[in-house]
Amino acid sequence: MDKHLRYAFYFLIVFGIAAIGLLYFYSNGVAVLNPKGMIGAKERDLLLLCTWTMLLVVIPVFLMTFFIAWKYRESNKNAEYKPDWAHNTLAEIIWWGFPLIIIVVLSVLTWNSCHELDPFKPIESNKKALRIQAVALQWKWLFIYPDQRIATVNYMQIPIDRPIDFEITADAPMNSFWIPELGGQVYAMAGMRSKLHLIADQRGSFRGCSSNISGKGFAGMSFMTHAGTEEEFEQWVSSSTGSMSLSYDEYDELVKPSEYVPPATYSLGESGLFDWIIMKYMKPMPETKRMAHDSVH
């Protein structure tokens, strides 16, 4: 078996190089490692920093594993054999202590980063944030721009360098709203208002999706986020205002289950649509939707 062990060692080295090579080869396509926004970039930096820190322990473990396994193999009669040696206080202090120090460092990082990158925390900027309300439906995303009075399905147009304030809910089973190139995700839940703050630094089209299983058409819930300049955004807004109006009746049609829905644009008929979608789950008793609507306004 010693021969096997040596082969295993070679194989592992080759495999490690191959894995790193693959990572390099794909590095431009790896969204989380190549973010296009400040939040995503901070999350990436955190991920890498913690990985390097942990490698301080992990690499010695790997080396020790192979060194010890090789040196104290049965056929190596030159190696020392101490069958009853089973305790060494200093050694144990080292391997309780050293990982503990690393974990303490990581804990401080965790505490600080949890506060800094809290998805509910607004991004500080001298520009006024753009409000977008995202609703997970069966099986598409509805994006409402309340200030622009526009709604879109399965795509978003956003300006770069301007914070985006997302409010997120669902009129469907639980989903999770995630645009990897811009930053982390938050769940979309019926009757709940989640918040997420993201920003894009570069122009481009970024894939977004739902990451939580929500039924049959779940795989088709991906959408594109087009980040452009402020002018491009204004242009898009003015070209969209003439679109079909999203009334409650139209919403009723939209909310019906459908799969792989192509992108669409609406002008927003009802200003309180998002709040109404949340509130309709909050009633103690069933009501028709008109009554619910009237009680909101």
Partner 1 sequence: MIAFIEYSDIFGKLDLNAFKHDAIEASVGISIILISIALVFFLTYKKLWVWLWRDWLTSLDHKKIGVMYLIVSAAMLFKGFVDAAMMRAQQAFSVGDSFGYLGAPHFQQIFTAHGTTMIFFVAMGMVFGLINILLPLQIGARDVAFPFLNNLSFWFFAVGAALLIVSLMIGNYAGTGWVSYPPLSGIKYSPGVGVDYWLWGIQIAGVGTLLSGVNFLVTIFKMRCPGMTLMKMPLFVWSVLNSLVLIVFAFPILTATLAMLSLDRMMGMHFFTSDFGGYPMMYVNLIWAWGHPEVYILVLPAFGIFSEVVATFSGKKLFGYTSMVWAMVAITFLSFIVWLHHFFTMGAGPKVNAFFGIMTMIIAVPTGVKVFNWLFTMFKGRVQFKTPMLWFLGFVIIFTIGGMDGVLMAIAPVDFQVHNSLFLVAHFHSMVIGGVLFGILAGFTYWFPKIFGFKLNEKYGGYAAFCWIFGFLFAFIPLYILGLMGATRRLNHYEAATGWQPLFIVAAIGVCIIAVGVFFQIVQLIVSIKEKDQNMDTTGDPWNGRTLEWSTTSPAPFYNFATIPEVSERDPFWTMKHHKQEAKYVEIHMPKNSPHGVFIGALSFTFSFGLIWNMWWLAIVSLIGMIVCLMIRLFDRDTEYAISPQEVEKFELANKHLN
Q: Least separation, in Å, of the C-beta of 163 and partner 1?
A: 17
The CA–CA distances, whole Å, from 280 to 41, 121, 192, 232, 246 equal 37, 26, 11, 36, 18
Region binding partner 1 by CB under 8 A among candidate stretches 127-135, 152-160, 169-177, 289-297 = 169-177
Check residue 90 for interaction with partner 1 (CB under 8 A). Answer: no
Binder among 152, 154, 185, 265 for partner 1 (CB under 8 A): 185
Of residues 184 and 266, the one with the C-beta less far from partner 1: 184
Q: Least separation, in Å, of the C-beta of 205 and partner 1?
A: 10
Tokens 């690499």 correspond to 59
C-alpha of 121 from chain center: 16
Check residue 61 for interaction with partner 1 (CB under 8 A). Answer: yes
Region 201-260 residues binding partner 1, contact defined as CB under 8 A: 207, 209-220, 222
Check residue 52 for interaction with partner 1 (CB under 8 A). Answer: no
Region 8-47 residues binding partner 1, contact defined as CB under 8 A: 8, 11-12, 15, 19, 22-23, 26, 29-33, 40, 42-44, 46-47
Of residues 178 and 236, the one with the C-beta less far from partner 1: 178
Check residue 262 for interaction with partner 1 (CB under 8 A). Answer: no
Tokens 């069966």 correspond to 138
User: At how many degrees (to 10) do helices 38-71 and 89-116 cross?
Assistant: 170
Residue type, 212: N
Q: Least separation, in Å, of the C-beta of 18 and partner 1?
A: 9
* Rounded distance between C-alpha atoms, residue 297 and residue 280, angstroms: 13
Of residues 53 and 267, the one with the C-beta less far from partner 1: 53
Q: Within a 10 A sphere around the Cβ of 12, how many other Cβ atoms?
A: 12
Structure-token pair, residue 60? 């010695």
Binder among 10, 78, 81, 262 for partner 1 (CB under 8 A): 81
Binder among 148, 194, 225, 265 for partner 1 (CB under 8 A): 194
Check residue 180 for interaction with partner 1 (CB under 8 A). Answer: yes
The CA–CA distances, whole Å, from 178 to 40, 221, 257, 272 equal 11, 11, 21, 25
Which contiguous run of DSSP H or E holds residue 279?
A: helix 273-279
Of residues 86 and 126, the one with the C-beta less far from partner 1: 86
Binder among 99, 122, 204, 272 for partner 1 (CB under 8 A): 99
Phi, psi values for residue 206, rounded to 5°: -115, 135
Binder among 127, 128, 203, 283 for partner 1 (CB under 8 A): 283
- Total chain residues near partner 1 (CB under 8 A): 107
Binder among 117, 123, 255, 292 for partner 1 (CB under 8 A): 117
DSSP character for 127? S
Check residue 295 for interaction with partner 1 (CB under 8 A). Answer: no
Asked if 180 and 31 touch (Cβ cutoff 8 Å), the reply is yes
Angle among Cα 162, 114, 165 to the nearest 5 degrees reads 25
Check residue 183 for interaction with partner 1 (CB under 8 A). Answer: yes
